[in-house]
Structure 1
Amino acid sequence: MKKRDVSKRRIRHRKPVWLLLPLLSLIFALIISFWVVNLYRGINPIFPAVSEETTEVFSNDTQDDDAQADVPWYLTLVNRWNPLPKDYDLELMEIEGGELVDKRIYEPLMEMLDNAKAEKLGPIVVSGYRTQEQQQSFMDEKITSYRKQGYSKSKAKELAEQWVAAVGASEHQLGIAVDINGATYDIYLWLQENSYKYGFIFRYPGDKTEITGVAEEVWHYRYVGVEAATEIHNQGVSLEEYLENLN
């Protein structure tokens, strides 16, 4: 039997297209992660800006708020119009990664993160409790970032205030708000669908910017207790709207 001479032939092996899917998925995940990190830093934000009507904030000094005197700690409202109460007290506890949170939210937060880990979402708390000095540092850093992009000092400050709360106006100073990132963008979708089960809410949706005074932050979650979180989730309202309805 005559042997076939294949020495001079070019043999091409075509890989099935499906073998490229893991690589394409990895590239997509890296692109999404890069986008989220830059968004978190306030670089080239694409969400709607806060209107001029919401840019005025109170002074940096904390104030007593009689209207919140009877409100439980987990429903304390802090935003650009409602500063951190002077007498607000908390006991901090360190979580994995080194961030600090109010001891009272430690267990529900850990339960939520553990269940997210079980879904292979790789959740990590990148920001928890902040001191006044830390909050001021975040503001200064954001202003500097906009200045480097060519904005004037006043415009840079205006833009920064849309992404970073003034000292005394940040929920991070309450110790019951956390910024969560993950190994995949799906972490944010999972949190939006499941966080209320653990007492947390997606605090700053894009369609509530005019009410909250903060542009959309897909990573920011705030503890309000399971009952309030469930109602806020089911009704599709902001914390401000929920508290107004209670009153």
Structure 2
Amino acid sequence: MYAIRYKELVKKDEGINNNMAKKRDKKNKLRGKWLRGIIIVYLLLILCNLFHEFPSRLGNLHSIPVSEEWYLIVVNRWNEIPEDYRVELTELSNGQKVDSRIYPYLQEMFDAARKDGIYPVVREGYRTYDEQQKILDDKIKAYINEGYSQSRAERTAKEWVALPGTSEHQLGIAVDINADKSKSSNDEVYTWLAANAHNYGFILRYPQGKQEITGTSYEPWHYRYVGVDAAREIYERGICLEEYFEQ
């Protein structure tokens, strides 16, 4: 009888212990969930603070301040041309057009290049919205003709051609410069510009190694007027226009 009673007590104790163990496990699991939740929230707060205090380059592309100076306006795939933007144009000898305000500096730069035996020409100047759209459409068609799918053709074309409304050519203060092939080579022109353009207020707008910041691949022919002071600082520091505003 006592043996039976003892067994019952043992079973009862075991049951109590099992219940207590289950409760402990449940509490531990719940505590673990709360702890993980607190850690996740804490990490999110840290990340939010880091992004706020030290924004990434990509983040900064979306928050570049609007400059009061017309020649420092930033236009890229993340920053469209303001709707109220207006430009007065001067036509060049080859029919291309540029913002009248940059014409004297462009002419001065070209005169200096010619004195050094380098003969640049403006291949592309100001473009309208419709002209920019046509260039993009033609690029897409060209890729499709090469066998690209529609989606791949559009994606690839946009790596080289800006969407209408996001092209610096629509500002009138950016130019694509090539060589007068009868007197110079493109490489000679690009080399001269890379070393001297900043003295006349122009910068290489899309340098090598800056694609993730500018949103555009390296273009040794694309120069943009930003004023002499900004151009010299950008040149000396080896940065691009977006980084100039970051720092």
Structure 2 counterpart of 1:170: 167
Partner of 1:197: 199
Contact 2:65 2:245 in 1 (8 A): no
Name the SS of the counterpart of 1:161 in structure 2: helix
Question: Which residue of structure 1 aligns with residue 235 of structure 2?
Answer: 233
TM-score by length of structure 1 reads 0.71
Q: Which amino acid aligns with 1:232?
A: I
Q: Does 2:102 align with 1:105?
A: yes
Q: CA deviation at 1:66?
A: 9.9
Unaligned runs of 5+ in 2: 1-57
> RCO greater where, 1 or 2, for CA within 8 Å and sep 6 or more?
1
Query: Which residue in the other structure is 1:44 paired with?
Result: none
- Would the alpha carbon gap of residues 112 and 243 (structure 1) be closer, same or farther in structure 2, given more than 3 Å must change? same
Percent of matched pairs sharing the same residue: 52
Residue 67 of structure 1 deviates from its aligned partner by 3.9
The residue correspondences of 1:80-91 to structure 2 (distance < 5 A) are 80-91=77-88
Q: Deviation digits for residues 156-188 of structure 1, max 9, x if unmatched?
A: 111110110000000000000000001311110
Structure 1 unpaired stretches of 5+ = 1-53, 59-64
The equivalent residue for 1:45 is none
CA-atom RMSD in angstroms: 1.7
Does residue 1:155 correspond to 2:152, yes or no? yes
Rate the CA distance shift 1:97–1:147 in 2: closer, same or farther, 3 A: same
> Where do residues 133-148 of structure 1 align in structure 2 (5 Å cutoff)?
133-148=130-145
2:91 aligned with 1:94, yes or no?
Answer: yes
Question: 1:96 deviation in Å?
Answer: 2.0
How many matched pairs?
182
C-alpha separation in 2, matches of 1:204 and 1:222: 9
Equivalents in 1 of 2:135, 2:116: separation in Å? 32
Give the partner amino acid of 1:113: F
**Cα deviation per residue 1:206-237 (whole Å; 9 max; x = unaligned)?**
21011000011110000000000000000000
The letter for the 2-side match of 1:123 is P
1:117 aligned onto 2:117: no
Deviation per residue, 1:129-151 (Å, 9 max, x gap):
00000000110111111112111
Aligned amino acid, residue 166 of structure 2: A
Contact 2:76 2:214 in 1 (8 A): yes
The one-letter code matched in structure 1 to 2:90 is: M
Contact 2:91 2:97 (C-alpha < 8 Å) held by counterparts: yes
Deviation at 1:119, TM superposition (A): 2.2
Q: In structure 2, how many angstroms separate the alpha carbons of the residues matched to 1:144 and 1:154?
A: 11
Moved more, 109-118 or 198-207: 109-118
In 2, the alpha carbon distance for the partners of 1:163 and 1:206 equals 14
Larger radius of gyration: 2
Q: CA deviation at 1:121?
A: 2.1
Aligned to 2:126: 129
